[in-house]
Amino acid sequence: MQSTDNQTTPELDTETSKLLERARRSELILVIGNKNYSSWSMRPWVALVAFDVPFKEVRVLLDQPDTANRIAEYSLAGRVPVLIDGELTVWDSLAICEYVAEQFPDKHLWPKNSAARARARSICSEMHSSFSALRSSMSMDIRASHPGQGRTPQTQADIGRISEIWEECLSQYGHHQFLFGEFSIADAYFAPVVMRFRTYGVFLAPALQAYMERVIAHPAVARWMQEAQDETEVLPNHH
């Protein structure tokens, strides 16, 4: 989604004003896009739900005439997700996950072991900054099924690198459960990749396929998927 060119802060509607007032009373608010399509929104939402962090969800429909103005009511960065905690606004999915992990240290959103934690942060950062071919050729569309589509050489290279990351983490830290044993931000961060692989029929080695099934079965991921199925909006430019 492109940032808005509007340099003025729009007048807040009544609903938004009430939500921001709730935020000022220290109730976390997470602003997200459509669950069927918004992979970046999925990451912190799944992390918060998986670790029982209470928050109020606000869904802004993407690719609508008022989308930019609605997002600007919460953040002038012009993108979702956005987390609001009192007077503080945190945008960008990784920054949100880091902030929540700091606010709830007892919940251990990151792995407890320092070496595992460093690896988890590294692969989340790589996910954050890389894999543009996968994102372009295999856009997230949970309700769709497009087996075999999007297989460019660049996308295949991205799939290979993701498989390598998963293999290393599962064998070294995960004990063949989640990437670092217990479910963590790292698994939430790669959950949209699992959605893409499911939609486009990407089948991996048995151990990695089993990992994907565990992610899909996780209650937080399963809930997001069900709520994506329940949405009725169909966005243009998604295949």
Q: What is the pLDDT of residues 84-126, one digit of tens each?
A: 999 999 999 999 999 999 999 999 999 999 999 999 999 999 9
Instruction: Give the closest residue to 124 by CA, choosing from 209, 52, 193, 36.
Output: 193
Number of domains in the chain: 2
> Which residues contact residue 81 at a Cβ distance below 8 angstroms, ignoring those fewer than 6 apart?
30, 31, 32, 33, 38, 40, 41, 43, 44, 45, 91, 92, 93, 96
Helix, strand, or coil here: 180? strand
Helix (H) / strand (E) containing 85: strand 82-85
CATH code, domain with 189 = 1.20.1050.10
CATH code, domain with 69 = 3.40.30.10
**Which amino acid would we find at residue 196?**
R
Alpha-carbon distance of 35 to 231, in angstroms, equals: 8
- Token pair, residue 115, equals 């070496």
Tens of pLDDT, residues 161-211 = 999 999 999 999 978 699 999 999 999 999 999 999 999 999 999 999 999
Segments forming the whole domain that contains residue 154: 114-228
Work out the average pLDDT over 139-150: 95
Helix, strand, or coil here: 148? coil
> Contact 159/133 with Cβ under 8 angstroms?
no
Task: Tell me if 31 is assigned to some domain.
Answer: yes
Q: How far is CA 77 from CA 22, 88, 102, 130, 212, in A?
A: 21, 14, 23, 21, 32
Task: Tell me if 234 is assigned to some domain.
Answer: no
